[in-house]
Amino acid sequence: MILLKNQVALQFSLGPFIDFIDIEDFQAFAVIKNSGGLRPLLKLSFELRNEKIIPYLNKGNIIVVSYGIETPISDPILFEIEALDNTKLYRVGSQVNLTCSMYNPGFTNFVHSQNYGNVKGYEVLQKIAEQNNMKFITNVTRSNDKQNWIQTGKTDWEYLDHVFWRTYKDTETFFAYAFDNNNIYYYNVHDLIEAGPRWVLSVGQISTNTDNDMLVNIGGYKSDDSKVGTLMQISGKNVTTYGYNVDTGEFSEAGHKLKTFTTMGTNKINNLEEGCQTFEYAILSGDDHANSIVAQSQNKRNNLLYSTHTVYVPVPIQYRDFRLLDVVQLLPADPDTPEAGLYLITGIVNQFKDGKYQTNLVLNREGVNDMRGDGLSTGV
């Protein structure tokens, strides 16, 4: 076990070797979780001391990780080695840098076919979670996307994404999802934000209206609008979604109003209208529910909108219960700062860097101003 005084305890296992990295050999690690359908990643660096583990340093082998405050408190997390810096043969004294991704073979590796029956989209997502021993965390209890859902030649990971974009309730609603090693998160974003923040991140001030269990005092934050955030990982989600029905031979299209819930700003919308690539045609059949094209357009456009403004926040190590897609309220030292307000957590990075353990949050929302949201674009 690696004990970093007053910070964190770490434990790494590989093959038959428990605690195969000693404190003297340990250099750096990071567990990176993002929303938008990306697998969690582990990045690990250490100096090789035990030559017996060299045969196990191969792509596809499993590393088991536990970490927490003072003692490993997390359930063991499994990662699959994906990349090694093996430009030369490893030997005692070599530095090893590994990149690993979430390991859940039933979820990410096995391709199979399955008929889920004539059910609603969120019921399919729940079934995928259950059959992979993952918790399904959601605020969705109603939807209008009932159809015969058939998984053909896809992994559960791929089919989760396929179903998500087609989930639909009404024209006032869109959804967001994420997963980590143990959970699938699926939310109606409007209802999620209406329920209020789970955390309040405060810079040099304390809100008298805030539950102490919610309050996290932070030293600062960094705002960045230079790239699309992690709520929408795939660039080029177009303004209009096109469909082709293989049963009738008919083409269709859908473009929908952008919804602003955390701010009423419209300053980002023009950016979405310019230079967007056309997304692939949605191929429909008689099994697709009536709102399938509308759902894809609405979910894609609004997920993209909510990825336009990004804030990075380092938080104290004692706070370890953050979840992807939690709603947080950011309270800057100056409450009139444009970055103040509500955000979604779209990324969580737990890392040991520069001699200390730290947690960094990635927050996203649709803009930074407080303009009225009336008259938003209705698309093409």
3-state secondary structure of 329: strand
CA distance 316 to 202: 12
Q: What angle do CA 60, 65, 68 make, to 5 degrees?
A: 160
- State the DSSP code for 35: B
pLDDT band per the 50, 70, 90 thresholds, residue 246: very low
pLDDT of 347 > 90? The answer is yes
3-state secondary structure of 155: coil
Q: Are 79 and 103 in contact (CB under 8 A)?
A: yes
pLDDT band per the 50, 70, 90 thresholds, residue 271: very low
> How many C-beta neighbours within 10 Å does residue 378 have?
9
CA distance 179 to 137: 10
Q: Which residue has the higher pLDDT, 201 or 251?
A: 201
- Which domains does the chain possess? 2-103 (2.40.10), 105-195 (3.55.50.10)
Q: Tell me the per-residue pLDDT of 359-375, one tens digit each, with 9 for 90 and over.
A: 899 999 886 654 333 33
pLDDT of 129 > 80? The answer is yes
Q: Tell me the per-residue pLDDT of 111-126, one tens digit each, with 9 for 90 and over.
A: 888 999 999 999 999 9
What does the pLDDT read at residue 241?
Answer: 47
3-state secondary structure of 53: helix
CA distance 2 to 96: 17
Q: Tell me the per-residue pLDDT of 23-64, one tens digit each, with 9 for 90 and over.
A: 889 988 899 999 988 899 999 999 998 889 988 998 999 999
What does the pLDDT read at residue 176?
Answer: 94
CA distance 70 to 11: 11
What does the pLDDT read at residue 371?
Answer: 34
Q: What percent of the chain has pLDDT over 70?
A: 73
**Sign of the alpha-carbon dihedral angle for 342, 212, 138, 103:** positive
pTM: 0.81
Least reliable range by pLDDT among 81-85, 268-272, 315-319:
268-272
pLDDT of 324 > 70? The answer is yes
pLDDT of 266 > 70? The answer is no
pLDDT of 170 > 80? The answer is yes
**Distance set, CA 1 to CA 43, 45, 72, 85 (Å):** 18, 16, 9, 25
What does the pLDDT read at residue 32?
Answer: 94
pLDDT of 346 > 60? The answer is yes
Q: What percent of the chain has pLDDT over 90?
A: 38
pLDDT of 3 > 80? The answer is no
Q: What is the 3-state secondary structure (H, E, C) of 64-128?
A: EEEEECCCCCCCCEEEEEEEECCCCCCCCCCEEEEEEEECCHHHHCCCEEEEEEEECHHHHHHHH
What does the pLDDT read at residue 1?
Answer: 74
**Residues in the chain, total:** 380
pLDDT of 184 > 90? The answer is yes
Q: Tell me the per-residue pLDDT of 135-163, one tens digit each, with 9 for 90 and over.
A: 999 999 999 999 999 998 899 999 999 99
